[in-house]
Amino acid sequence: MKGLVVENSKITLKDGLDVPSPKNNEVLVKVVCASINPTDLDIVKGQYDLFFKLFGGDHLVKTGLEFSGVIEAENTRFKKGDKVFGYVDLIRGLKTHQEYLAIDEDYIALMPSNLNFEQAAALPLGALTTLVALQDLGQVNKGTEVLINGASGGLGVYAIQVAKIFGARVTAVAGPNQEEFLMNLGSDQVINYQKSNIKDLSEKFDILLDLTTNLKFKEIKNILAKNGKFIPTDPLKNMMDLLSNIFGNKKTRLLYVGQGNYEKLTQIAHWVEEGKLNTYGDSCFAFSDYEKAFQRLREKGKRGRVIIKIGKDK
Ligand SMILES: NC(=O)c1ccc[n+]([C@@H]2O[C@H](COP(=O)([O-])OP(=O)(O)OC[C@H]3O[C@@H](n4cnc5c(N)ncnc54)[C@H](OP(=O)(O)O)[C@@H]3O)[C@@H](O)[C@H]2O)c1
């Protein structure tokens, strides 16, 4: 089978890779589409190599964290031919930039029936991560003031919609020319980060979800409400803020979607089918055009995910 292989910080499309064999709780999936996201860029640079080596994730294909596809070899929950979407364990899991994937059934769910493979591959990790952040860590509900920093990217487009499903008031922070798009997604207010610095806002927020990984707690504490919570998306970059929780300041929350979550993925699929949640793919590239896809990922102004088409959908 074909897959993207990373060697010396360079990615190459190789053929002749072994099709993985599913174990215990796993199914074999023929991958149809996969996304690429900022973590893939860090993986290519080698930033995860030590973790991969230490925790059993040193696979030939190292990039690709979410996908849509078709069940080839079934197990207990899914049947051959089912259309599924899902994500992989960042450290240990086989990655999705390859034609076949063996994956634990807990990391996948049936695709929303109203989406095609391209749309479905843009959905799982972004929607699930923001659902975990806003529901489990943020306990967001009616009237909660939520600020989403980095609102037009792969996670942001879902964070706005999930916060609105729970009844929150949403302030979205993004670059130029995104206001109309983000208001249409449900934002109550949009701030252009090139014109205003959120640290100077006079309003207070119950939840500040930072999808840019640029912010530190001390910079934003003045715009947090009394019991407000800061939820950064990169635990490693905010390690000091998280450690400060030990000394009583329990305002920074640890966000890490590692385990499988079939129930929440299924909830997301139902929201899509009910028209409460829309999926956003910024662009879609052929597998052979993977370099162009990675180039698009590095550009500013994207809306949602960059997708690569890996296999045929028949
Ligand atoms: N903890 C977890 O379990 C978990 C799971 C999934 C993802 N993540 C992490 O979550 C982060 C976000 O992922 P993503 O896919 O949403 O990334 P993304 O698509 O690159 O989105 C980031 C957004 O931030 C915006 N931005 C850049 N500079 C900004 C600034 N100064 N102020 C406000 N917004 C700014 C970008 O807008 P422009 O286009 O204008 O630059 C972009 O829309 C990544 O670091 C990813 O690794 C964590």
Res 102: pLDDT: 97
Q: Compute, in angstroms, the gap from residue 1 CA to the centroid of ligand 1.
A: 32
Ligand 1, pocket residues at CB < 6 Å = 37-39, 125, 129, 149-150, 152-156, 173-175, 193, 211-214, 233-234, 255-257, 300-302
Distance CA 268, CA 123 (A): 9
pLDDT at 61: 97
What's the pLDDT tens digit per position in 209-229?
999 989 999 899 999 999 999
Closest Cα to atom 5 of ligand 1: 129
By alpha-carbon position, which residue is closest to atom 26 of ligand 1?
A: 150
pLDDT band, very low/low/confident/very high, at 240 (cuts 50, 70, 90): confident
How far CA 96 is from CA of 13, 19, 103, 234, 260, in Å, comes to 13, 12, 10, 21, 15
Q: What is the dihedral of CA 130, 167, 157, 139, to 10 degrees?
A: -10
Tokens 């208001």 correspond to 183
User: Cβ atoms within 10 A of the Cβ of 264, count?
Assistant: 18
Residue 169 alpha carbon to ligand 1 centre in Å:
20
Task: Quote the ligand 1 centre to 153 CA distance (angstroms).
Answer: 6
Please tell me the distance between residue 129's alpha carbon and the centre of ligand 1 in angstroms: 12
- pTM of the complete model: 0.95
- Per the CB < 8 A criterion, the answer to whether 245 and 217 are in contact is no
Q: Which of 44, 45, 125, 155 to mutate to test the pocket of ligand 1 (most atoms within 8 A of CB)?
A: 155
**Nearest-CA residue for atom 11 of ligand 1:** 211
Q: Does domain 127-247 have CATH number 3.40.50.720?
A: yes
Q: What angle do CA 261, 91, 279 make, to 5 degrees?
A: 45
Amino acid 132: pLDDT: 98
Fold: same for 3-123+279-309 and 127-247: no
Say if residue 46's pLDDT is above 80.
Answer: yes
Please report the pLDDT score of residue 258 as a whole number: 87
pLDDT at residue 245 is higher than 90:
no
The per-residue b/e assignment along 234-259, b for 16 or more CB within 10 angstroms, e otherwise, is beeebeebbebeeeeeebbbebebee
Distance 76 CA to ligand 1 centre (A): 36
User: Does residue 59 register a pLDDT over 90?
Assistant: yes
Nearest alpha carbon, ligand 1 atom 42: 153
pLDDT of 238 higher than 90 = no
Categorize the per-residue pLDDT at 239 as very low, low, confident or very high, splitting at 50, 70 and 90: confident
The domain made up of 3-123+279-309 has a fold known as: Quinone Oxidoreductase; Chain A, domain 1 (3.90.180)
Report the nearest atom of ligand 1 relative to the CA of 297.
20
Q: Give the per-residue pLDDT at 249.
A: 66
Supply the mean pLDDT for the chain: 95
Cα of 213 vs centre of ligand 1, distance in Å, is 7
Q: How far is the CA of 303 from the CAs of 176, 177, 296, in angstroms?
A: 12, 11, 11
At residue 235, the pLDDT reads: 80
Instruction: For the chain, give every domain's residue range.
Output: 3-123+279-309, 127-247
The mean pLDDT of 53-59, rounded to a whole number, is: 91
Map tokens 């998306």 to a residue: 233
Check residue 300 and give its pLDDT. Answer: 96
pLDDT digits (tens, 9 = 90+) for 164-201: 999 999 999 999 999 999 999 999 999 999 999 999 99
Q: How far does the centroid of ligand 1 lie from the alpha carbon of residue 7, in Å? A: 26
Mean pLDDT of 266-293: 97
What per-residue confidence (pLDDT) applies to 248? 65
Average of pLDDT values for 75-94? 96
* pLDDT tens digits along 249-260: 678 988 999 899
Give the side-chain half-sphere CA count within 13 A for 226: 0
The whole-number pLDDT of residue 314 equals 66
- What does the pLDDT read at residue 39? 94
CB 156 within 8 A of CB 71: no
60 has pLDDT over 90: yes
Hunting for tokens 């070899």 — which residue is that?
A: 73
Ligand 1 center from residue 31 Cα (angstroms): 25
Residue 237's pLDDT is what? Answer: 80
**Residue from 233, 241, 261 whose mutation best tests the ligand 1 pocket (most atoms within 8 A of CB):** 233
In Å, how far from its chain's centre is CA 282?
A: 14
User: What is the average per-residue pLDDT within 84-94?
Assistant: 96
In sequence order, the 6+-apart residues with CB closer than 8 A to the CB of 213 are 232, 233, 234, 237
Residues 6+ apart with CB under 8 A from 172: 148, 151, 152, 156, 160, 178, 182, 185, 187, 189, 190, 191
Give residue for tokens 């449900």: 186
DSSP state of 98: B
* Pick from 210, 219, 232: nearest CA to 150: 210
The pLDDT of residue 57: 87
